[in-house]
Amino acid sequence: MGFISNLFGGNKQDKALNEALGHIQRILEDEEFQLDMVPGMKEKIALMETIKGLPSYDRDPNGTGPFGFSENNPIPVNGPIGQLAYLSRLETEKGDRILFHRIGAVNTIDVFEAVTFSGSDWFILFTDHYHLRRSRAMPDGFRFTKEVPLFSGFHMYCPNFPYDFVEMMMRDAERKGALSFAYMAISKVKQQIQNRAFTRPLAHKAKLDIVKSRLTSSSMQGSSIARYSADDKGLTNAPSDGRLTEQADDQQAVALYRKAAEQGDASAQHNLGNMYADGRGVTKDEQQAVVWYRKAAAQGLADAQFYLGEMYANGQGVPKDEQQAVVWYRKAAEQGYAPAQANLGAMYANGQGVPKDEQQAAVWYRKAAEQGLATAQGILGLMYRNGQGVPKDDQQAVVWFRKAAEQGHATAQYALGLMYGNGRGVPKDGQQAAAWFRKAAEQGNADAQLNLGNMYADGRGVPKDEQQAVVWFRRAAEQGYAGAQYTLGAMYEMGRGVPKDEQQAVAWFRRAAEQGYAGAQYNLGVMYAEGRGVPKDEQQAVAWFRKAAEQGDAGAQNNLGLMYHNGRGVPKDEQQAAAWFRKAAEQGNADAQCNLGVMYVLGGGVPKDEELAYFWWLLSSAQGYDSAVKKRDIVEKMLTPQQRAAAQACARVWKPK
């Protein structure tokens, strides 16, 4: 250990020392090497098999609670050695690094207690080491040190942490052998330990007691490496005998938090507010939650200021007051609290509690995005893509989408796929588009599932595979996504990727139609009109054509005109027929343009006018509609040269509405 303590005190040109430094650097930096250092071949293989194929991200996109401080939002790291490397990099925003020891695990999530070298701040950190790489994100209040991050903690439990830290570190270094050179010099903390400078605050003690009662494995029994090393004796993942039930645990938590909160501890006040807000250990009482959030917020605790803002924004425990929400979001945001910065950006973007100001929205989203908050990064990407609050810049949009996407943010992955698919901000690349759609689709993003299905259906970026297309259309459709329900119905109607089944087609068209999807309403109208997959029912056909037509669907407008013209499902009405033909014709529908021409030449529902008939047939025939070509040529002979020239001139400049 003497060599460790004096590692940087000798001649750095010495070959052996350089080799040692190189080895240390590899231990600290090389993520693959860190995974390779898991003890035992069987254990190493087991770890790699477990994490193979799992997504890599900086924050779990489905995580809840503050990043790194909650078992539901742990820090992703690459195995037990990567765990040490990550935690040893952390320092507070004041530049104070941390000592840490592992107190146990909650299921597969490891729990570490940490204290700053100075003894001023205490933390409980949660990590998930089933990942191929470690997170690039940091818990709130931390940054990565610029020092050489020699290990400042271990997987062993210190019963008298941190006063037995040096003894335990020496024991752990000796036990790990090859890792021993990677431990920091004990001189960095020896004086503080000798001076007994470390005292756990009341709120931290309360948290620690609560966490210990929830452990499903204890470091007093073993370490995270034990999961891969059956040779280490006395290591077990069995639940501790004294584990409390969740309800009793919550009640104990409330008692501990209340005791500390009534003594003025801001963290305890905030946590007690959380317990009242969630109804854990006490009857749910949002007014009481607000009382305790306010006490902590008044002491400047950013978490509490943020949650108090949430209560005002949602009208929980207080009358809804968006201006007050903005006040509290701003207080937390100005302390650098990323979720509050993002929410303040949203308030500016939507004009809630403040005048709408997209430039200010972009400012606050950027602050949160630069701290690694994936949601803010994705929104900032959208603002660049759409030119909202910032100059439109597809390349910058891609930069921010990518940052969020690489953290596993599904919406950003989908957006990045669109950028590749459309060649915006990046060269057009169907394979990259499909790859990002797949990442988002596998997380359940319905837009991405539909787009990935389309890629398979068309053979863009992936080999054409209509059965795979149906798989992805179905996943999105079963989430209630109307566009996918409509598309899946079309696949059944045509027998693409599935056996042809018009009843199934009708079922999926109906689901989408009942959500107001115009294309599905049109298709359902066709199925009723033709008696396909349902008994023929022209009144039902008219009902569905009308729903789609009133949304501006040109095909449905034309078909509704035909139903009126022929008296099918409605009384015959030439004026109504002409009116619906016109709506569709003015959108550029060639069928409707041809039909409206017929109405003019016959005087059905409109004054008879061969010149207008000729005009509409010119437009329809220009789209290659054969029936209109024949009619155009016949009526052309009935017009004067002046009438023909006038109609042709109008047709040349006509544009659809």
Give residue 280's pLDDT band: very low, low, confident or very high (50, 70, 90).
confident
pLDDT digits (tens, 9 = 90+) for 429-447: 999 999 999 999 999 999 9
Residue located via tokens 């599932």: 449
pTM of the model: 0.69
For the chain, give the number of residues. Answer: 657
Output the six-digit token pair for 603. Answer: 């005087």
Query: Vertex 235, ends 230 and 236: CA angle to 5°?
Result: 95
- Say which amino acid occupies 572: K
User: What percent of the chain is predicted at pLDDT more than 70?
Assistant: 83
Q: Say what the pLDDT of residue 283 is.
A: 95
b/e code 28-64 from CB counts within 10 Å (16+ = b): beebeebbebbbeeebbeebeeebeeeeebbbbbebe
pLDDT digits (tens, 9 = 90+) for 305-315: 999 999 999 99
Strands 153-154 and 142-144: unpaired
Give residue 23's pLDDT band: very low, low, confident or very high (50, 70, 90).
very low
Give residue 509's pLDDT band: very low, low, confident or very high (50, 70, 90).
very high
Handedness of CA 391, 397, 398, 402 (dihedral sign): positive
Q: Say what the pLDDT of residue 17 is.
A: 44
pLDDT digits (tens, 9 = 90+) for 63-103: 887 899 988 899 998 888 888 889 988 998 888 899 999 99
In 229-356, which ranges are E strands?
A: none
- Say which amino acid occupies 254: V
Q: Say what the pLDDT of residue 7 is.
A: 32
pLDDT digits (tens, 9 = 90+) for 472-500: 999 999 999 999 999 999 999 999 999 99
Query: Are residues 78 and 94 in contact, defined by beta-carbon separation less than 8 angstroms?
Result: no
- CA proximity to 210, closest of 167, 153, 271: 271
What is the mean predicted confidence (pLDDT) over 298-306?
94
Handedness of CA 28, 31, 37, 38 (dihedral sign): positive
pLDDT digits (tens, 9 = 90+) for 555-588: 999 999 999 999 999 999 999 999 999 999 999 9
Going from the C-alpha of 448 to that of each of 254, 410, 419, 432, 437, the distances in angstroms are 43, 9, 13, 13, 5
**pLDDT at residue 285 tops 70:** yes
What is the mean predicted confidence (pLDDT) over 267-276?
91
3-state secondary structure of 273: helix
- CA proximity to 475, closest of 506, 437, 518: 437
Query: Vertex 611, ends 606 and 613: CA angle to 5°?
Result: 55
The residue ranking higher by pLDDT, 13 or 125, is 125
Handedness of CA 484, 489, 491, 492 (dihedral sign): positive
Q: What is d(CA 192, CA 178) in angstroms, rounded to the nearest whole number?
A: 28
**pLDDT at residue 549 tops 80:** yes
- CA proximity to 44, closest of 30, 58, 34: 34
Those residues whose C-beta lies under 8 Å from the C-beta of residue 413, and which sit 6 or more positions away, are 405, 436, 437, 439, 440, 443, 445, 448
Task: Tell me 239's DSSP state.
Answer: P
pLDDT digits (tens, 9 = 90+) for 576-625: 999 999 999 999 999 999 999 999 999 999 999 999 999 999 999 999 99
Residue located via tokens 């004009």: 351
| Cα 281 to the center of its chain, rounded Å | 31
The residue ranking higher by pLDDT, 167 or 199, is 199
Q: Say what the pLDDT of residue 1 is.
A: 34
What is the SS3 string spanning 594-638? HHHHHHHHHCCCCCCCHHHHHHHHHHHHHCCCHHHHHHHHHHHCC
Those residues whose C-beta lies under 8 Å from the C-beta of residue 613, and which sit 6 or more positions away, are 597, 598, 600, 601, 631, 635
CA atoms within 13 A on the CB side of 16: 4
Q: Report the phi/psi class of residue 281: left, alpha or beta, with left for phi > 0 and alpha for psi in -120 to 50.
A: left
Q: Say what the pLDDT of residue 245 is.
A: 44
Residue located via tokens 């801001």: 266
Residue located via tokens 């009902």: 543
